[in-house]
Amino acid sequence: MVEICFSAVATALQKNPKIGLGLSFSAMAMLYSVMLIGVYITSSHQGLSCPDWPLCPNGFGPPAEKYVFEYTHRVMVVITAGLIVATAAYSARSMKQARKTAVIAAILVSAQIVVGLLVVNTKLDPLVVAAHLSTGISLFAMSLMTFLTAYRLTRNH
Ligand code: HEM
């Protein structure tokens, strides 16, 4: 019974290119917001406001005012990474034209989380911060290309 339900859902997902479009758009929009907050953190010199990794000192509770942006950056990264991986999984199965860029985005987001760890642990080493920015830009490029492919597929459907 469960198997029948799963295969019905899988078939329904496969037949609907709007799912790929929705997933890739959500991932791209979240990524854009994460980058916006990241640049704000840098330019307002709040990069060391949350000294721990992966969580800030408040753990899962409400953040203190001094690291609210750092906390938001990290929480949004978790959701963004989930959306990017879901887009890659969906593309691998049902949106082959976007598979390459979506899988590269999934690899880059994992790398970016490790670079984020290094940004914090090296106390903002300039080279590491530069790597964080350039990986973020490459990730956004892959995410945008995935979305544009999904958009083209929806238009041609
Ligand atoms: C999808 C993953 C991520 C993206 C796209 C992203 C993107 C960015 C961007 C664009 C900046 C601004 C860099 C600059 O202006 O030079 C930034 C800053 C920052 N990010 Fe991330 N980030 C991600 C994940 C993380 C993670 C997981 C952490 C750590 C837990 C982290 C910690 C930081 C810190 C501390 C800064 C401020 C650096 C500074 O003050 O110079 N980021 N991020």
Q: How far is the CA of 141 from the centre of ligand 1 (A)?
A: 16
In this predicted structure, what is the pLDDT of residue 2? 46
Could you report the per-residue pLDDT of 117-146, keeping only the tens digit for each? 999 999 999 999 999 999 999 999 999 999
What six digits make up the tokens of 153?
A: 């597929």
Q: What is the mean pLDDT of residues 49-56?
A: 90
Out of 1-5, 6-10, 150-154, give the one with best mean pLDDT: 150-154
Q: Domain range spanning residue 33?
A: 2-156
Q: How far is the CA of 96 from the centre of ligand 1 (A)?
A: 30
Q: How far apart are CA 55 and CA 57, in angstroms?
A: 7
In this predicted structure, what is the pLDDT of residue 156? 85
Could you report the per-residue pLDDT of 13-31, keeping only the tens digit for each? 566 779 999 999 999 999 9
Q: Is 109 in the pocket of ligand 1 (CB under 6 A)?
A: yes
Mean pLDDT computed over every residue of the chain: 92
Q: How far apart are CA 76 and CA 87, in angstroms?
A: 16
Confidence of residue 151 (pLDDT cuts 50, 70, 90): very high
The CA-CA-CA angle for residues 33, 39, 44, to 5°, reads 125
Q: Is 53 in the pocket of ligand 1 (CB under 6 A)?
A: yes
Indicate which residue's Cα is closest to atom 32 of ligand 1: 116
In this predicted structure, what is the pLDDT of residue 16? 78
Q: Is 38 in the pocket of ligand 1 (CB under 6 A)?
A: yes
How many structural domains is the chain composed of?
Answer: 1
Q: Is 136 in the pocket of ligand 1 (CB under 6 A)?
A: yes
Residue 12 has pLDDT above 60, yes or no: no
Q: Is 112 in the pocket of ligand 1 (CB under 6 A)?
A: yes
Residue 4 has pLDDT above 80, yes or no: no
Could you report the per-residue pLDDT of 89-124, keeping only the tens digit for each? 999 999 999 999 999 999 999 999 999 999 999 999
Residue 6 has pLDDT above 80, yes or no: no
Q: How far apart are CA 42 and CA 54, in angstroms?
A: 18
In this predicted structure, what is the pLDDT of residue 25? 98
Q: Is 20 in the pocket of ligand 1 (CB under 6 A)?
A: no
